[in-house]
A and B are shown apart, each in its own frame.
Chain A
Amino acid sequence: MSAIVNTANTVLAQLPDGATAADAKGISAASSAGFAYGLAAIGPGIGIGYLVGQAVQAMARQPESAGQVQTTMFLGIAFTEALALIGFVVFILLKFV
């Protein structure tokens, strides 16, 4: 959180003299939305990595159950990815609506 505040302060300090409060608000909103989207993608990335790593290990140990493992792995990936999609939708709604 302090990184977001520091970055926003740095950006705001570099604004030209003619910049209005609306410009500053727009810049801070854009940087906040970008941080939100980036943070929202970290969790699903870790989740997908863990999920696929365990699934590959299971398939390597028991190749005869690879079909079942792959099916559940694909659904797990889809559900985990929904979190990143939610972050993306929040980003576009914050930034452009």
Chain B
Amino acid sequence: MTTDPMQVRIDGPSPAMSVALDLAKRSLWLAPVVVFGSAAIWGIEGVYSTLYALLIVVGNFLLSAYLLAVTGRISAALMAGAALFGFLLRLGLIFLAVMLVRDAWWVELVPLGLTLIVAHLACCSGEMRYVSGTLASPGLKPQPTPNPYLPSSDADDAAASDAVPSSSNAAPSAPNAQ
């Protein structure tokens, strides 16, 4: 097995992309809080600026993960290059995204800048707790479970039976048994 980063490829589904999508979902939970906060202080311009900043943060995460996923399938060394030059590229894109709209009537720079920092750090902190928990205890990772009150397809039933063994054929669980 080679250990040359130029030849190592990272196949399979990209964890970075799933983390980025998870971060995007977390930003949906965060959005009402920051939007109401900025609406209370800066009014309608604050709302628009906050939503624009959230869009920039989520787009930044998704672009970063996409670059890592695509280049990781080619080579690990190329992924390292994409991470570094992608950092410069994304900083430039964020700079452009803010500079192009800074004179627009709906832009208030203070909530825009504060939301960029707060949303970025809040999403990362929430995701870090989740990732730390699942790395420390992989068994606690949420599994897709069927809702018994909703109609489901046969494929869902098959996937659920694979993921969660039924009580009739599963061995009795005894976590503390020696």
**Chain A interface residues (CB < 8 Å from chain B):** 41, 44-45, 48-49, 52-53, 56-57, 59-61, 63, 66-68, 70-75, 77-79, 81-82, 84-86, 88-89, 92-93, 96-97
The reply to whether A85 and B79 form a contact with Cβ atoms under 8 Å apart is no
Cβ contacts under 8 Å, B20 to chain A: 74
With beta carbons under 8 angstroms apart, the residue of A41, A44, A74 that contacts B68 is A74
Mostly, the B contact residues are helix
Closest Cβ–Cβ distance, residue B125 to chain A (whole Å): 9
Set A44, A45, A97: member contacting B110, Cβ < 8 A: A97
B135 at the binding interface (Cβ < 8 Å): yes
Name, among A41, A63, A68, A70, the residue most crowded by chain B CB atoms within 10 Å (CB to CB).
A70
Would you list 26 pairs from A and B whose C-beta atoms are within 8 A, ordered by A residue? A44-B87, A45-B88, A48-B84, A52-B80, A56-B5, A56-B79, A60-B2, A60-B3, A61-B3, A63-B1, A68-B135, A70-B14, A71-B19, A74-B19, A74-B20, A74-B68, A77-B64, A79-B121, A79-B124, A81-B90, A82-B124, A84-B91, A85-B94, A88-B91, A89-B114, A92-B98
Q: Do the beta carbons of B76 and A59 come within 8 Å of each other?
A: yes
The 10 A-B residue pairs whose C-beta atoms are closest, nearest first, are A89-B113, A74-B16, A52-B83, A71-B15, A56-B76, A60-B8, A60-B3, A52-B80, A70-B15, A60-B5
